Structure 1
Amino acid sequence: MAPKISLLYRIYFLYLEPFAAVVGSYLIMSNPSHFLISTTPLSLSAYTAAEPTPLTRLLLTNIAALYVLLAFAESFVLIQTKNLNIWRTVLAGILVSDLGHIYAVYTADPAAFLGVLAYRGEDWVNNGTLVLGAALRAAFLLGFGVQK
């Protein structure tokens, strides 16, 4: 009998997060300045207020491509299988990326990252979805909501 993967995981990993990744990729490509302002702490606003440099655009385009890769890995790879080993492998790889992303956001401005009471709406969306995704991946890898 195939393992049963929680509906929460299936909805989040197969539909919600891939959709958000594609929307994020589109935002990066169509309005890089807005993306930078929305995803960086206010303390870095002096760096994000100006038109992105060619180097920044190059890096943002790479981020957009990685968002599409995330969407593809989750929605097109995971939807094809109920094999827990494949799910664990894909989600473990993405969790490593999550941890790198959390570290990057934290080191940009530790006080802003930890100061959740001062979060703007954009911070809740960016940091909230980042931490939520990482927490769901960790819970899945620990076996919560997965019946063998």
Structure 2
Amino acid sequence: MGAGKSTIGRLLSEQLNLPFVDLDREIEDRAGASIPWIFDIEGEAGFRERECAALVEVFQRPDLILATGGGCVLLDENRQLLSTQGHVVYLKTSVEQQLQRTAKDKNRPLLQTEDPESVLRTMAEKRNPLYEAVADSVIVTNGQSPKLVVQEIISQIQVD
């Protein structure tokens, strides 16, 4: 969350001339509702089911750049899909950077709490090892411009 997945994904798709899909937007389009609304009505479990179904569908499309939501790696099915579908880039960022980038964003249901830092730290403890397990590349985005991160991704993909 707040690592720059959507911004970097869009820039990368432009550089590589490939379609860009933001999985969260895909879920919202399919549901006809915002992610906060889905969380309010169906809870995180309901959202994760929708996320998994959308991921399966998106992977039916040919070559693309995909930005997943930050919790996409929580389900085993999603990790298996990600591991077998192309080059996975983990945009790693510190909790401090996440707090700066998400401070005014009201569209992140899990951070609508009095202590978002604690939430982010707990999520990092659980998610970081999962990201690292599925990643083909790990790129630290702290203090990096999106364009610089995109160039680093392109360099790593060309090596593969």
TM-score by length of 2: 0.27
The structure carrying a bigger strand percent of its residues is: 2
The structure carrying a bigger helix percent of its residues is: 1
The structure having more radius of gyration, on CA atoms, is 1
Q: Which has the higher contact order (CA 8 A, sep 6+)?
A: 1
